[in-house]
């Protein structure tokens, strides 16, 4: 069974994702490699049979990866944008 990072219960990360989600469901970049593996969250619940995870209101669910959805992502603070290219500081 997969035990993804504790996204569901990490308040700062969840708050970040919820702030930028808006009204649409959004992919969050979490996926499972093996089709027969199950999602197991840190609280022991199982949720969805898809390979990719997305924000579903205030919950995290999974579905097929090829479905069109918006996305939420972040990057490390140690990068700066200079002349339209990202460079490490």
Provide DSSP, the chain.
Answer: -B---STTT-HHHHHHHHHHHTTS-EEEEEE-S-TT--B--TTS----S-SEEEEETTEEEEE-TTS--EE-----TTEEEETTEEEE-
Query: Looking at residue 86, what is its pLDDT?
Result: 54
Q: How many CB atoms lie within 10 A of CB 30?
A: 16
Distance between CA 71 and CA 55 in Å, rounded?
9
The model's pLDDT over 14-61, given as tens digits with 9 standing for 90+, comes to: 666 677 666 778 887 777 877 777 776 666 666 677 888 888 777 778
Q: What is the mean pLDDT of residues 1-15?
A: 53
Query: Looking at residue 13, what is its pLDDT?
Result: 65
pTM for this model (two decimals): 0.56
What are the sequence ranges of the domains in the chain? 11-88
Looking at the domain 11-88, which fold is it?
Mannose-Binding Protein A; Chain A (3.10.100)
């Amino acid at each position: 069974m997969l035990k993804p990072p504790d996204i569901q219960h990490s308040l700062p990360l969840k708050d970040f994702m919820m702030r930028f989600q808006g009204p649409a469901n959004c992919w969050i970049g979490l996926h499972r490699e093996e089709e027969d593996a199950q999602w197991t969250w840190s609280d022991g619940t199982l949720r969805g049979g898809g390979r990719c995870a997305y924000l579903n209101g205030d919950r995290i669910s999974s579905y097929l990866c090829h479905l069109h959805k918006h996305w939420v992502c972040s990057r490390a603070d140690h990068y700066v944008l200079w002349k339209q290219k990202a460079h490490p500081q």
